Amino acid sequence: MLHGKKVLLGITGSIAAYKSAHLVRLFVKAGAEVRVVMTEAATEFVTPLTLSTLSKNPVLSSFTNDETGNSVWNNHVELGLWADLFVVAPASSNTLSKMASGQCDNLLTATYASAKCPVFFAPAMDLDMHAHPANGANISALQSFGNHLIPSEVGELASGLSGEGRMAEPENIIQFIEETLRAGLPLSGKRVLINGGPTYEAIDAVRFIGNHSTGKMAIGLAKAALELGAQVHLILGPTSQNLNRSGLTLERVVSTDEMHEAVMKALPKADIIILSAAVSDYKPAEVLTRKQKKSESNWSIALVPTVDILSDVGQKRTSGQFLTGFALETNNEEEYAQSKLEKKKLDLIVLNSLRDSGAGFGHDTNKVILFDRNKNRTELPLMSKDEVAVRIFEKINELHA
């Protein structure tokens, strides 16, 4: 949810400001671009140098910058328009009061008043200050404006008292923001099961049968599902591709049997299933435990069919589960794809042709045709696999409303 987002972090004068360095680090680790704006009081608790080093951006704390000897205006309007998210953490009682009443006597509150993006605030103050009716009224006012309260936590406070008023821990702030962002998305609450990449079938101790699939299409599909708010279970065959995102469970397998077992185990919890893996259709009838030595004579290997994962899922899925398969063909492409759609009981099939330049294994681009259960045909131009993934989910959302 935070990958690629522009996050403006506002830090106010609270002892909890020491946690802001960790919060910046977590935003950056999640793939966000972070800029920091501080009140003058906040600089007494954590240094701008620390935060600029972690965020890799200058830290702003006043309306003008005089470091060069020439006053340069720090444009609060541009800051507010730049951000995808404005997070005020910690939010002191003083700053909450200014935000609620519209006071703009510092760069942070002026930027807040100019922000067009979602605003999150995490109060941090001592027990009695937090419980004061005026503070409660300010929090309520900010929520009525559409701002998101990240609730304070209970624990030991700087005064030595124990109770509500601690700023939420940085990890909890990240989780709260991601869950809030995810809640309004089309696939919020949905579980998506995707498989991808090749499978390898062992011949002997060192050799295998495989194919040239890289898993790039599956990675694109997983990213698209996550951006739409889904929880994703991605099962990848042997490939160098990797993805590490909140909301993603990544499981790695090697053989078709292992892929089948992993898919069938995850199937009952899935709402949407997309089987894009290029699984091996055959495997050796017998696997040698040692390496077969080279000789002058021919070496024949008896092959037997592997389990048909797509057919098995088509037979065993429930009526509420949406199933998408892939077809990679070299001739009579559309005929074979439509036959596969019917035979394997799919809702949607994605056809790739190895005859299309820039499509198929190894490329960052793909050119596909979508056939759905309603006999509709949608041909897409050559585009990146990430873009193809987005278009596939547009079709799934259209059919799986």
Task: Please tell me which residue in 211, 298, 332, 374 is annotated as part of the active site.
Answer: 211
| pTM score, whole prediction | 0.74
Q: What is the DSSP letter of 169?
A: P
Q: Cα(241)–Cα(238) distance, rounded to whole angstroms?
A: 9
pLDDT digits (tens, 9 = 90+) for 318-344: 999 999 999 987 788 899 999 999 999
Decide if 263 contacts 237 (C-beta within 8 A).
no
86 among annotated binding-site residues: no
Distance of CA 187 to the CA centre of its chain: 12
Does 340 carry a binding-site annotation? Answer: yes
The overall average pLDDT reported for the chain is 92
- Residue-wise pLDDT for 205-260, tens only, equals 999 999 999 999 999 999 999 999 999 999 999 999 999 888 899 999 999 999 99
Pairing type for strands 282-284 and 303-305 reads antiparallel
Total residues found in the chain within this entry: 401
pLDDT of residue 53: 95
Query: Domains in the chain, please, with CATH?
Result: 6-183 (3.40.50.1950), 191-399 (3.40.50.10300)
Phi, psi of 234 (to 5 degrees): -105, 120
The H-assigned helical ranges of 74-169 are 76-82, 93-101, 107-114, 127-131, 133-144
Instruction: Tell me the chain's radius of gyration from C-alpha atoms.
Output: 27
Give 159-207 pLDDT, tens digit per residue: 787 888 899 999 999 999 998 988 888 999 899 999 999 999 999 999 9
CA distances from 275 to 53, 137, 267 (A): 43, 52, 11
* Residue 291 is labelled as binding a ligand: yes
What is the rounded distance in angstroms from the CA atom of residue 106 to the CA atom of residue 38?
9
DSSP string, 259-308: HHHHHHHHGGG-SEEEE--B--SEEESS--SSPPPP-SS-----EEEPP-
pLDDT in tens, 13-56: 999 999 999 999 999 999 999 999 999 999 999 999 999 999 99
Strand positions, DSSP E, 141-271: 148-149, 153-156, 162-166, 191-196, 201-202, 208-209, 231-236, 248-252
Distance separating alpha carbons of residues 259 and 229, to the nearest angstrom: 25
Respond yes or no: is residue 298 known to be catalytic: no
